[in-house]
Amino acid sequence: MTQRAHTHKAAEPNPPEGRHGAFLPFASPSIDAETVAAVANVLRSGWITSGPQVEAFEAALSGYLGGRTVRTFTSATGALEVALQICNIGPGDEVIVPAMTFAATANVVVRVGAKPVFVDVGLATRNIDIGQVEAAITPHTKAVMPVHFAGLPVDMDALYALAQQRGLRVIEDAAHAIGSSHCNRRIGSFGDLVAFSFHPNKNLTTIEGGALSIRDPAEVKRVERLRFHGIGHGDDGMDVIEAGGKYNLTDVAACVGLGQLRQLEQLNRRRRELAARYFERLQTNPPLQLPARGDEGHSWHMFAPLLPLEQLRFGRQDFIREMVAHGIGVGVHYPALHLFTLYRKMGYKAGDFPNAERIGRSTVTLPLYPALSEDDIDRVCAACVQVLLNRH
């Protein structure tokens, strides 16, 4: 059973039927009837918060990631914030972050009192520029936070070699990358601390949720403590060891995750097929700049080309409105992070990171989810051609 996701940056709150067929949102989860029935059983069980389903989901994720210890969270944001705390990052410290990512990646750095230091990204890959990472390291740098944008893995061999050489922790924002792999190793099956998102538009959803893959067994207990109020146990029962948050996943959400994980490889395979169809059919004039294609390790969380705005007589919002008129939803992922008000106040400005800014002003996210057909992709491509030709 396919259900429509809440869509980030939807052009209209309730888009109409298009002139050319049923409305295609840019993202939609695939939740089967077996999972729906299993959720109903959890609701009837009387145990709906963290319990046996969470334990089973964490064990299943661990198996999927080659035996790594995995702990679930209510969001990837919570997992990233706890990861920073595990690395003892706080006031006076710096964390290197790509300028093209969702706001949460940098916001969590600010929330622990540290400074996000932005670097630019590749124009096609949208991934962090490792050469610029090295140039941005100072005596205050404690960690680097790469983002596997749209599911395309960062060159982790090069990044971890640099991190080891400079004594840095690596906190991977793998919010887009469940099921992605680098050199035949699944993201999250290796590395330092790796955070996943299970938001409704991700390749695997728990409705809302996330997880943290942890390399060092000695850090697991503190992860568990920080995700639940900092509570530990002393000689006289419950104790509060430090100020933790409230990030524990529910059994209802974990039950959805178990159903999703059983299908993940099949769903990701379908995403790769649909992305390949885009590369084959999306030939517009003027041409869209397509994202880096990657290889079979790319899980294709989303498909986000760049508009040729310099050759058009209209802006991105006009493109989105016209695509909606064709019955096609379009997202924006993402504006350049350093140009938000919060980060301008820290001294960042336009011109600092040209690739992130080019992506931020011209990116559009086209429909990509397993329930789409090849005909649906062809319809999106034809609409793109028509809209661009009309405004060229």
Q: Which residues are catalytic?
A: 202
Determine contact, residues 172/87, Cβ cutoff 8 Å.
no
d(CA 216, CA 221): 10
CB neighbours of 316 closer than 8 A, spacing ≥ 6? 307, 309, 332, 361, 362, 364
Which one-letter DSSP state was computed for residue 337?
A: G
- Coil, strand, or helix at residue 167? coil
Pairing outcome for strands 141-144 and 169-173? parallel
Q: What are phi and psi for residue 92, nearest 5 degrees?
A: 90, -10
- Show the CA angle centred on residue 257, arms to residues 252 and 260, nearest 5°: 135
How many other CB atoms are there within 10 angstroms of residue 215's CB atom?
A: 14
Determine contact, residues 381/121, Cβ cutoff 8 Å.
no
